[in-house]
Structure 1
């Protein structure tokens, strides 16, 4: 039990100020002397034992009628472990510019707002804690240690702006299952040495990492698998050395990487199965690793030409609309097709999805270009006979998406046949029977296997021209078969 007369001068000042929530400021006003990094050298006049802080927060201090008790301390060296695990704390805790020798434990505690700002400490364990208010570590340095918020509940905001958390372990922040009433703000120079884990987190006010630096090159820089939030802001110079993993995340409004850099060497972005409102992938530079969006669904995709790496996994990726840098429409389609070819191997769904997007926007010609590219890509996976037949379909009718090609072929062959046959002298099959010979009509009769114009059976040749006639018949059958196959494919697809 603490005895007032045995407290140091600094501790007595804190004890006396507590009932009215007054602040005790032990700083000298000289920046070099007040830097928490040098706090281990601060003397007895600036030292407060952690047990004194705990005693006040747990109701051991004096009460004063009409006062709102709170613990506000600045510029102090706090010795010993501040262990508040499982405690019921009904007062504000505010530490500013302090140096804590041991980690703070709020494990399974129930507390009001906790603000440890501009301070230096070796860790914070608030797993299973329930904070009615805000939890702030703004501009604090947590080293060497980590921040644990596993299955914690915070009714207000988590403020980590300008904080630096550094550990030799893989994870700097453990926050799986974190439930937030407000947002998580990690901006204005937030830096970690180690990854940030937020699997299954419910972030009611969003996750804001604008300009943050996350460094875990041998693993995941950020994990937010199955997280639920309206916004994930990874923009404005955000830099991740390691994978950004958002598997199964639900982002109802905006996921933005505008101006971000992703340096994960294996997989830069793992977004398999995520569901997003607006997805902005306007990266500052091409990622070093793969972007995996298999099975993801977004309402609107915004991107830049240089935002996609050499390998992009798009099978099952669904989007409602596409928005990119202003480019001529034809160039935009060409760029999109090159984007699809970055998907490993052949997969039909990415082509079908892009065509559906163009069709929904009223760009039917672009949709046909995409579906034609799909058939050409598919052809590369076929055996030799399949590739030959595919090339014939492509050259004659563009797989049914360019039926006008068949008309061009027929017109050219009719012209060629007319010239060849008009230069020769055919023989009438039966004397006195049949219509007079007409070279053009005779050519049409040979080319079209359906119908009879009375020329094909009435006239024949006794020289090499007959072999040319046979060739036109064969070509006619091939063209007709190709047209029927191509058009049937198109009609079935529609």
Structure 2
């Protein structure tokens, strides 16, 4: 008879006289020595039935191993495999490298030693409801499921590099890692789903880094608590279905999905993520082919971070609660303990980003992030703005920036802020606010240092203007652009006095190029105003013909001979206003100079003062009075002529400036928002 390997023959389990007994020095013969539960199990395996025992029935781990390996000719095992319900398995069950031909079911059992399945090959293993000291399945290969539903593993579920053809079912289980991880499935390959929900509890880190899961990764309703390290780590994993951390999912410690690839949704609805001194949920660099749900009961006490993530669908944050914590690298870089609630730096969301009806305590960083559609709402924006600026109006706020920027620096850390530098979006959702006031409050909810002169960021303003224009909200876009220029002036960002003066001119007459017809209105108003001034000056004979010969032939004030154009105040004003004249009014008429300042009455008094007069005190007194009045009138007329020359010069200068500015604005030589 051929010798069998140790543990592969029923003869080893004889009583006195058995191989085992003779090896121990007992040479007497005897029957097979088995515990009552083992006899029952032996018969059940032969018949293909379930061996139902009480927890007080003992089955030796070595005898169970003999049956799991297929038994022998005296103890055949049915193709339905070994099926036990309720037994105490004593000793370590060592199946390292074994090829287990049949299904294994150890339900509601107590295994007081570890189960060693390293490198083993088996079909389905069902340990539902069992209590196990530990399970080591490194590089285990299963052609079916690994079922640990409602099981308790008190040391560690260790399955790195394992391959499971169907599901890993840990629903309702309890996993304890007293000195390290509770579950280590790094690099595992699962052909079905990984199920760790329905009140599954893990006391210790859970590691699924670099796992490949064809179906879902479902932790809905699970509870994960780590004394050190991440509570749940799925970094680098590939998940063909959805990652479900929802419906009363709870994590005490960071949940990491760094550089993971998820073909379905990332669902965190009603999930609770608690790590108040650091990161609560991190999915940096992850690629999610569907939708991310951080909504409707989602609560994060710690930073939610998704730097560089790629989300093909929507990002839902509506109804979520985000309580911030300081980010480690922000503290190291800026020596600043600013709390962040949500940080999406360099992320890309191709669908909609829903940010409304949520509670946020901390900053939101969208630096260099891109979303397809931004869907926020006025209450969320108002909440941020009011936390920062209280009831301060936008006009008062702009004055405060120019007068006392230090006030805002003092209150910088006390409020939630939007970091918007580099944030781009294709459009605003139709339900999001498009009005100027709401959007300005959004922009003014940025960190104050990014609104002040030294570190001012123009990109958020330019992006908003661009999107509003593309969506057809032209007036709101213009108002935002005008407000931007006003803010630049209030923080002293315009430049030297000459540029500042041009900036003021550009604002008053054209609203920085956004309302060019405003300049036309100003031009018409100045034209008519100056025409009225010139008419009054002409009536006072302060505007005279430019040619002396013509002027000497005037018999009537303001009239020339029949071959000379009559004075027209409207045409005269228009001729001065237009850079290129052609109306000949400014050529033929001009403000009076020299003797022409004197009107006819002044001339009579001037001549009378030098002609002989009748002697006598009364005649002398009358003459002196006339000369004195004439001098006062002459001085007044000289002042009026000086004022008239100033008006004509300024109108001519305005005409040139307005024409050049209008042409430059309409042709694009001067950018509207420069």
TM-score, L = length of structure 1? 0.84
Alignment root-mean-square deviation, CA? 3.6
Whether contact under 8 Å (1:275, 1:297) holds in the other structure is yes
The equivalent of 1:316 in structure 2 is 422
Among 418, 428, 437, which residue is 2:567 paired with? 437
Relative to structure 2, which stretch is displaced further, 100-109 or 335-344? 335-344
In the alignment, the residues of structure 2 paired with residue 59 and residue 218 of structure 1 have an alpha-carbon distance, to the nearest angstrom, of 48
Return the offset for 1:177: 0.5
Aligned partner of residue 171 in structure 1, secondary structure = coil
Whole-Å separation in 1 of the counterparts to 2:461 and 2:43: 70
Give the distance between the partners of 2:240 and 2:53, measured in 1 at CA.
32
Distance 1:21 1:156, change over 3 A: farther
Deviations along 1:291-323, one digit per CA (max 9) or x if unpaired, are 222222222222222335452222332222211
Question: Does the CA contact (< 8 Å) of 1:116 and 1:140 recur in 2?
Answer: no
- Structure 1 residues 15, 212: CA separation in 2 closer, same or farther (over 3 Å shift)? farther
Q: How far is the alpha carbon of 1:93 from its aligned partner?
A: 2.1
Counterpart in the other structure of 1:471: 650
Per the alignment, residue 121 of structure 1 pairs with: 175
Q: Residue in 2 aligned with 1:423?
A: 536
- How much does 1:393 deviate? 0.3
1:44-93 C-alpha deviation (Å, 9 max, x unpaired): x77556944x74996558669xxx96333444322x22111222233422
**Higher RCO (Cα < 8 Å, 6 or more apart):** 1
Q: How many residues align?
A: 470
Unaligned runs of 5+ in 2: 1-5, 14-32, 56-85, 105-121, 177-181, 326-338, 385-415, 551-559, 598-637
Distance 1:226 1:9, change over 3 A: farther
Q: Hey, what does 1:33 align to over in structure 2?
A: none
Partner-residue secondary structure (3-state), 1:253:
coil
What does the per-residue CA deviation read over 1:118-161, in whole Å, with 9 as the maximum and x for residues that have no partner? 12212110001111222111134444301101111111211101
TM-aligned CA distance change 1:421 to 1:260, over 3 Å: same
SS in 1 for 2:314: strand
Structure 1 position 23, deviation (Å): 10
1:10/1:47 contact within 8 Å kept: no
Q: d(CA) in 2 for partners of 1:211 and 1:460?
A: 83
How far residue 241 of structure 1 moved from its aligned partner, in angstroms, is 1.4
Distance 1:182 1:74, change over 3 A: same
Structure 1: gaps spanning 5 or more residues: 28-44
Matched, 1:104 2:157: yes
Deviations 1:192-247 (A, max 9, x none): 01111111101112211111111112222111111111221111111111221111
Aligned to 2:623: none
Does 1:373 pair with 2:483?
yes
Q: Secondary structure at the match of 1:469?
A: helix
What is aligned with 1:239?
A: 299
Out of 326, 335, 348, the residue aligned to residue 275 of structure 1 is 348
Secondary structure, counterpart of 2:468 in structure 1 = helix
Bigger Rg over Cα: 2
| Helix, strand or coil at the partner of 2:521 | helix
Q: Which residue of the other structure, out of 349, 355, 364, is the alignment partner of 2:474?
A: 364
Would you say 1:382 and 2:494 are equivalent positions? yes
Contact 1:135–1:158 (8 Å) recurs in 2: yes
Which protein is richer in strand relative to its size?
A: 1
Q: 1:460 aligns with which of 581, 591, 605?
A: 591
| 2:131 paired with 1:77 | yes
Structure 1: distance between partners of 2:264 and 2:358: 29
Following TM superposition, by how much is the alpha carbon of 1:392 offset from its aligned partner in structure 2, in angstroms?
1.5
User: SS state of the match for residue 246, structure 2?
Assistant: coil
Structure 1 SS opposite 2:440: helix
Deviations 1:347-386 (CA, angstroms, capped at 9, x unpaired):
3333333333233333334433343334334444222423
Q: Name 2:391's counterpart in structure 1.
A: none
User: Residues 87 and 476 (structure 1 numbering): CA distance in 2 closer, same or farther, change over 3 Å?
Assistant: same
TM-score using structure 2 length: 0.63
Instruction: Give the match's secondary structure for 1:400.
Output: coil
Compute the displacement of 1:166 (Å): 0.8
* Equivalent residue in structure 1 for 2:311, among 251, 258, 266: 251
